[in-house]
Chains A and B, each alone.
Chain A
Amino acid sequence: MAEKVKLSEALERTAAALAMFDGDALEELTARLNAAAEGQVEIEREPVEAIKARQRILAEVLTATEQSINLLRRLRERKAGNEWAQ
């Protein structure tokens, strides 16, 4: 089990991939983290604070993403209803 994963790094990469809506990167990360959950990849030691700080970032990016997607959906509906701001 030579391969290792850092949770803080995984969180950071998830936030970065979400920011760019990079589906491939997210799929790759999911596979890697699932492997860690199954014990096939070792979790590297690191300070708890580093993980918590990046958890907060990802949580806030997720919240911002949800709000933005909802906004985009509303804007699309306005456009479809010919209520587009001119």
Chain B
Amino acid sequence: MSTIRQALGVAHGEHPAFEQLEQVVDGTADDVTREIVESHCQVCAQCAGELRDLREFAEGTSRSMWPRMLAAAAAVAAVVLIPAWIVLREPPKPVPLPHPAPKVAEGYGRADWDAAVRDALQRGTVELPQQHWPKPDPQRGPVVVVIPSVAEGPGGTGGTTARAMTPVNVVIETTTPILSWPAIPARYVVSVYDGPTRVAQSELLKKPEWQVTPPLARGRTYAWQVKVHRGASVEQLPAPPAPPAMFQVLDTDSATSLADARSRFPNDRLLRGVLEARFGLQKEAADDLRAYAVQHPENKKAAALAESVQ
């Protein structure tokens, strides 16, 4: 049965090369390289130590080399100077210690995260990306039918509007968002369009909400509409002159980065908030940055950051 082990080729391999460690530290490693280095470090204490040391060095959190030199100098001084001091009673000059490095937010193990957070903290603001919601092609986009007024639920003011439809003109993280609209006594059919192509449609619904299925593709911008069936009439939301209801699904790279950040730093509301803001997730960013500001009331930049994404 030794052939099974041999056939699997089980054998000590090479340790990760410096370049691979560096890529992991810089956050530039592809996911396969990162997986290989990290799984190797789980079983190789030597490489784990080297990776940790390089990470600390790159992040600026490592011990400076000077303390070691100064410690050696201090030891020599102790041997040479203390007897002299005893005799001469002249205190030795204090050895100047290096100032601690200023605490700058960094050290997430990814250069892009480090840079984003550092930049946000330094400037006290984080910009949301400019969103240019594309107008649908009137020839090919979702058909918008002029309909009579639709009440906006109990106490509503009436009129056709997309204001109460969600999500509208936002970036969303999930690929299966829950779409909701004003409740009226009716049945509904929801359609989701990617350009001229309908990519999802609900059955006849009783409730004014629907979770999109199948999952939508990432990085795409979608338009959606609700057909409201009341008796023999069919109305549509949103109806002209209201603009079409649109949203964008967060692209794969950004979603992966965000999931990675949440997984690795679950309590770091600053990192999450900054990344969410940069990816256009305004509401999530506002929530997280507000929480960070509450956690750090002494930090005026934190409050400014939260304010900047409102």
Do A and B form a real pair?
A: no
A interface, CB within 8 angstroms of B: none
